[in-house]
Chain A
């Protein structure tokens, strides 16, 4: 701690300065004066949208050195006018959660635990299995000879938390592959 300075004593500051009632500058500590909002350190800020419910509140995402450091409500949004609920306000923790998994995990049949797996290898394995499942349960036509042209061995679930563009590619790819069993939260 720095040495005591009489003139910096709060009562003296209160009497000397304009803040006679001691409700502002006169009573701030040095520690308070040296603090700054986290957002001031950000080197970028972008406009985003809350990932939880469907109200679509505006978010401002502050980042520094390619890391999100703060997420706040966007006052420009005519929907939310800067507000966020507890989930939206906690979404920085969603982004930087210590429980987040950032590497591929793989569990072989009958194994009792996860293993590491290279992403590229995982993608190859999934592509191979996709085509095998497609062959295993392929249906060309129904019993009356109507064309079906579909792959009943593959299904997917999910879509309401990912982007329109992502759903679009998923639907396009799965439909072209004949995989009709494609669903998301809207059904539930």
Chain B
């Protein structure tokens, strides 16, 4: 980021949430870069930016789409870059229909299921009807896409939407009405500065400033960078917000170049690592998908769904990556004859995310629950349902440092106070196992830019505190011991598991031995056991084994590369000898795009990776993200798949066609192009389409998870929830507070929950500075101290005044932490993005009134009273979902005041 000439921070309060990282933004700014912050709130980031643009929460695609339109309409796009590296010239199937044609829907939508069939979004085959400039070729069908069908977010890993092969029909002149560029142009034609003013509440002058800042600072000599955080991901449609920035950055030529890109600012020490080596339901290590029942019954079906062998780039080798993993887990029991023990993997049947799991708890479908350093009673949406779900468990294991609220809900949770639960009636058996902290164990974190950093152990853990490594290893030992004599086939995967890590005198497994397995090693032959040094060494014949293919090289030469600590002051700015970045210690992905189609740097100023004619190799300041000796003018071997098929300008080496995708033929479940929808609770009609909300949104239909009526309620019922709040973090606290509210230093710095309101809103509602306010949603009500501040500014949008409220979310009720307060996530419903299963936490309709909330049972009465006034009730719960189709059963048979018992509503999603 220090190399950027313009930085747009949107969906992030970086100075507050990533303060030490923000020094690089300040560094860029001190060198003359322009920094712009787009956010509903003026925050510490805005204070350290050149300009703050307040935006109506949830309208980011209108703004980004208008920037795309501005760039295309005014011919400001980086022509050479776009033509060389993106899919702008690719021709899309003739029966594709855009949201412009279908009033907010794309072709392929099935209203009964709320899902798309993406068959019509595919590239037209080069061998089919006459597209210009395309070489005919392969593929028997008329479209070069995935096996058509419903698109499911959980069905592929994040890098891996696949194509049959990488040679679509193209029109290099970009004039064909069916080419991506023309589709893109039409799609965003109505996303104008006027529309931005109307929808986002951003003035034309401010839009002009933003557009000019970006376009002036993009091109061969200059680069612009985006930064976002959960201000983008925690939306229904959040994945499309990020894609919209991706489309814009591709048009401006800012991907794969120094000072460019889209920086995802992640919030936990190794949240990147826990996605790479995932504790996530839908993924296996290295972004291999978990297999799905029916679709992946055979290993061949599974591997083909990840990447066709004839497609371009490195996903064509997915079979090798999968065999490598299975070999690492099941060793000698994984053979060619049994498809490498593929059948040992359990299968998915849809989404099994954390919110689906919550609903399963409430249905008594779950016996036991492990928490490993997470506090869902405070940190997850609809906290009350989280805690009620826990009361349905048979047992729960909490592994943490202190008595977090997810460990004490049965004793002093809000439902004990409200009378909904009684401690003596709760059957859940609770285990609290104290955890070792980051100084008491060695291991690696992967930070937000894929850098894997090893920590040395400083001391041994006290008392019963143990690392998760020791806990998991020991649990595995005991499970295997108990099953030792089992003849049940279901136990073979546990018994055949490679589980023989060397331990120290305390029985703690050696973390480096696990890292070595993650890295991978040769199997058999002379090199048996020798660590691999590159993922290109991975084979599909069982002669290599490794736990996470993208981490191959982290233990190259038998050396822990993540532990490298050559001081930054002794290195250049790439700092390649500090720790290790996946993949292959590469610091900027797709960096082939930092050179032009001929392999020459776009400019001296932005020189990074280039083709060296003398050595006939790619070289530069980073590890080139390209086959090292592939000439820039190489046409690629179309008869081969994989890396060999890449042409010399196919910079996006993980994409099935080697190109950056302006239009996504596959991989997104809610449309190939980012499209603006209002949030489900929005009282403002969608200014662009008849389709009000994202048609694929997954709403958990339940009487405890009802939504505000939005536009369906405004006319008849008046606006019962007239305001919008957005949640955020503070520097002095960390997420649900488990690592901050228990520390006196931090608790003293930010002792109390507050809400930020504008002076205008304070006057409208009658709030006093430092007094109390009660915030009410259809889920719950909380109280917070009032902070009246000009940082919140009412916006004029859609012909009305929009009041937005800012609320940090780190507090919880209880006596164990140093400070307490209401849990803001109790207010938030489980409305999920269908791509990611992540909830909307950023645009929530609410009521606001002065004073504290009621105590005891009166709290639920207050919530129910507002529900009644809004005309929402369990019997109308499904009507709020008419915005998006639902197949869920109405839960009309349930009484409103029925404390949740065993016979509760099903938590179906759609």
Contacts and interface: CB of A to CB of B under 8 A. Distances in A.
A184 interface: yes
Given A162-B468, A172-B497, A78 B343 contact: no
Contacts of B445: 49, 51, 56, 163-164
A158 B373 contact: yes
B525 interface: no
Given A160-B268, A168-B285, A177-B493, A188 B379 contact: yes
A171 interface: yes
Interface in B403-458: 403, 407, 410-411, 423-434, 437-441, 443-448, 451-453, 455-458
A104 B374 contact: no
Nearest to B475: A127
Nearest to A73: B20
Contacts of A155: 357, 360-361, 366, 368-370
A17 interface: no
A47 B568 CA distance: 14
A146 to B, nearest CB: 4
B173 interface: no
A11 interface: no
Contacts of A130: 368, 475, 479
A152 interface: yes
The binding surface of chain A is classed by DSSP as: mixed
A186 B271 contact: yes
B265 interface: yes
A149 B347 contact: yes
Interface in A101-135: 101-110, 112-114, 117, 119, 122-133
Contact of A127 (B429, B446, B455, B479): B479
B568 A188 contact: no
A157 B269 contact: no
Given A93-B743, A110-B425, A171 B270 contact: no
Nearest to A105: B432
A148 interface: yes
B462 interface: yes
Contacts of A112: 411, 423-424
B732 interface: yes
A21 interface: no
A16 interface: no
Given A48-B439, A49-B445, A160-B269, A173 B430 contact: no
B472 A151 contact: no
Contact of B294 (A61, A78, A124, A144): A144
A142 B349 contact: yes
B813 interface: no
Contacts of B458: 44, 46, 48, 61-63, 68
Interface in B828-858: 836-839
A16 B910 CA distance: 85
Contacts of A126: 395, 397, 431, 475
B745 A93 contact: yes
B128 interface: no
B274 A185 contact: yes
Given A54-B266, A126-B397, A87 B547 contact: no
A158 B279 contact: yes
Contacts of B371: 156-158
Nearest to B742: A99
Contacts, number: 477
A76 B548 CA distance: 29
Given A101-B434, A185-B735, A159 B745 contact: no
A164 B273 contact: yes
- Max count, chain A CB within 10 A of own CB: residue among B19, B274, B432, B571: B274
Contacts of B279: 156, 158-159, 167, 170-171, 182-184
B742 A97 contact: yes
Nearest to B548: A168
A162 B439 contact: no
A149 to B, nearest CB: 5
Contacts of B438: 48-49, 51, 91
A18 interface: no
A173 B816 contact: no
B578 A51 contact: no
A103 B463 contact: yes
B742 A137 contact: no
B267 interface: yes
Nearest to B275: A186
Contact of A122 (B23, B270, B433, B818): B433
- Max count, chain B CB within 10 A of own CB: residue among A88, A90, A181, A185: A185
The size class of the interface chain B forms with chain A is: 35 or more
B372 interface: yes
Contacts of A22: none
Given A90-B743, A130-B479, A137-B366, A81 B568 contact: yes
Interface stretch (B63-71, B510-518, B646-654): B510-518
Contacts of B476: 169, 173
B278 interface: yes
A149 B292 CA distance: 11
Contacts of B425: 110
B462 A102 contact: yes
B448 A54 contact: yes
A88 B407 CA distance: 25
A185 to B, nearest CB: 5
A156 B370 CA distance: 4
B592 to A, nearest CB: 24
Contacts of A188: 354, 379-381, 838-839
Contacts of B573: 78
B365 A152 contact: yes
B401 A100 contact: yes
Given A103-B434, A165-B515, A170-B372, A177 B494 contact: yes
A99 B347 contact: no
Contacts of B478: 123-124, 127
B742 A173 contact: no
Contact of B280 (A83, A110, A128, A187): A187
A81 B279 CA distance: 31
A7 interface: no
Given A159-B279, A172-B547, A185 B456 contact: no
Contacts of A132: 367
A177 B497 CA distance: 10
A179 to B, nearest CB: 8
Given A48-B458, A158-B373, A168-B548, A152 B366 contact: yes
Contact of A54 (B270, B346, B395, B423): B270
A106 B432 contact: yes
A130 B472 CA distance: 12
A85 B731 contact: yes
29 contacts: A46-B457, A47-B565, A49-B453, A51-B438, A52-B268, A54-B448, A68-B459, A75-B567, A79-B447, A85-B19, A86-B732, A100-B401, A101-B401, A129-B367, A129-B429, A142-B293, A148-B293, A148-B346, A153-B367, A155-B366, A162-B270, A167-B279, A169-B468, A171-B279, A173-B472, A173-B499, A179-B346, A184-B279, A185-B379
In order of increasing CB-CB distance, the 7 nearest A-B pairs are A78-B568, A56-B447, A163-B443, A158-B372, A102-B463, A159-B279, A160-B268
Given A123-B478, A148-B347, 11 more contacts: A54-B269, A87-B740, A107-B411, A137-B366, A154-B369, A162-B468, A163-B270, A163-B445, A165-B469, A167-B274, A188-B381
